[in-house]
Amino acid sequence: MANDKTRKFSSIIVDGISQAPSRAMLHAVGFGDDDFKKPQIGIASTWSMVTPCNMHINKLAENAAQGADEAGAKSIIFNTITVSDGISMGTPGMRYSLVSREVIADSIETVTAAQGFDGVVAIGGCDKNMPGCMIALARLNRPSVFVYGGTIKPGAGHTDIVSVFEAVGGVAAGKVSEAELKVVEDTAIPGPGSCGGMYTANTMASAIEALGMSLPNSSAQEAISDDKKNDCFRAGEAVFSLIEKGIKPRDIMTRKAFENAITVVIALGGSTNAVLHLLAMAHATDVELELDDFTRIGEHVPLLADLRPSGKYLMSELIAIGGIRPLMKMLLDANLLHGDCMTVTGKTMAENLADVPPYPAGQDVIRALDNPIKKDSHLVVLYGNIATGGSVAKITGKEGLSFTGNARVFESEEAALAAVLDDTVVKDDVVVIRHEGPVGGPGMREMLSPTGAIMGKGLGKEVALITDGRFSGGSHGFVVGHVTPEAAVGGPIAIIEDGDGITIDAVNKTLSLNIPQEEIDARLAKWQAPPIKENRGTLAKYARLVSSASEGAVTDKF
């Protein structure tokens, strides 16, 4: 049995007399004698019936396997987990959402390394699937392609999952009847695919394409479409080609490539979660990336996409005009992208974009560079005496660029949501939700329920919200998350009291508690660490291993 360069890892598993037991077991799962001479490509599928984001991915995995097999490899499909952010949102179950990113990364790394796969196709749907897959691919550094499972079709009346969350706030405000809420509930999610705005799933899919780790246009295809089937088939072929050429993820995931990803996320108005996930992916790749890089790049990159949650269009409408590739070509031509970065096509980014036509005349989904929605980034990194380690705001300018109000403090998301719904939260309040960070949660829940309720009640410009937790890509309004250090480790957010003045200033990039420093120091001196919430299991391990949000909330930073 030949041991050529395409079988660097699998040959150790299946070659020679000593590996007869391995071959015996593989015969039982469908290997023929000739298959042992082929490079093995693992197809990491995140299929499950847990969520519509992933319910179709078993079929996509089969398409990818077929592409790998027809190219000359031997494919092996295996599964990893997913959890649904949308379903668990606002409940204790949401504590497992960010944790699942680490479980996914660990499981793909574990199976691929143990089984000796020579390459990987990873297919993700729900939010944490994508960075989870990418972290694993970076750690393994074997020829790989990521495939996005695709976006969902719009619901009736141009609705989506955020429409449901905001309708809940509308009911509380008396603007939406329970019967109207039921209609939205029944029709907003029409079938398979990830949430339909420029929320975290579509944001991360776009970022990964800009990073060069998925095939051109993979981020801008509907889940149920021939384009997505073909994308998966071609991904299987592409990994075989990458194996032959010796191109690996770390050849692609360079610092310049991460800068391209940040640029595209900003232009699209993407989720704050992209900051957290790109930092984590860079850590896995040993690329130096920090919060301040988002600020540096954001000073020169405008917000161009009129996409939900702050805009009016859904991903399906961006797909209809050509996806993100014309945007990337526009950015490249303006010297805002690095064109010399390698991609999974085996070509550079500039080569991939060379023949991409512009958007059709008359469309207003993507603005021209000289007519931006905002001249610089909507992702604003804020520092100050509340966030000495940094925080991340999502400010498009529609809600203004600064906000000063009085703190209304809550120790959990549930308590804050109840106060929004029962009219405790009023105009000029700054809602402070703490003990929801990576350690304090544990798990750093997303605050879509309270932000959705604030918007649904019509308070989007009148109430701000800060938290050591994070936000769904569907959150919008005057919101600041990822406040570090978090409350559970003694960050200043832990000592804010009801009525304290707070200023959010997106121009000067500050988050300030408007009381004397002497008072802050006195309160911090009296602070005592809260009791540990979890002593056993996944959350307990996570809380003890996880780094700060400003470092990507990774669990292997030693």
- Which position among 48, 310, 472, 550 bears the catalytic label? 472
Contact call for residues 409 and 498 (beta carbons, < 8 A): yes
| Residue 374, token pair as written in the block | 């905002």
Place of tokens 């209609």: 183
**CA 201 – CA 482 distance, rounded (Å):** 19
Count of residues in the chain: 558
Tell me the C-alpha to C-alpha distance, in Å, between residue 235 and each of 345, 352, 354, 410, 479: 9, 15, 21, 47, 38
- C-alpha 396/C-alpha 267 separation (Å) is 11
User: Which residues, in sequence order, are CB contacts of 468 under 8 Å at separation 6+?
Assistant: 433, 434, 435, 436, 437, 440, 444, 481, 482, 483, 484, 486, 487, 488, 491, 493, 549
Nearest-angstrom CA–CA distance, 337 and 352: 13
Task: Clarify whether 163 is annotated catalytic.
Answer: no
* Residue 188: burial class (beta carbons within 10 Å; 0-12, 13-18, 19+): buried
In 3D space, the residue among 221, 219, 214 whose CA is nearest the CA of residue 242 turns out to be 214
Given its phi and psi angles, is residue 38 left (phi above 0), alpha (psi -120 to 50 degrees) or beta? beta
Peptide bond into 249 cis (omega under 30): no
Q: What 3-state DSSP class applies to 181?
A: helix
**Residue 76 contacts residue 43 (beta carbons within 8 Å):** yes
Of 257, 233, 285, nearest to 121 by C-alpha is 233
Of 358, 287, 354, 290, the C-alpha closest to 327 is: 358
Beta bridge partners of 454: none
Residues annotated as catalytic are 472
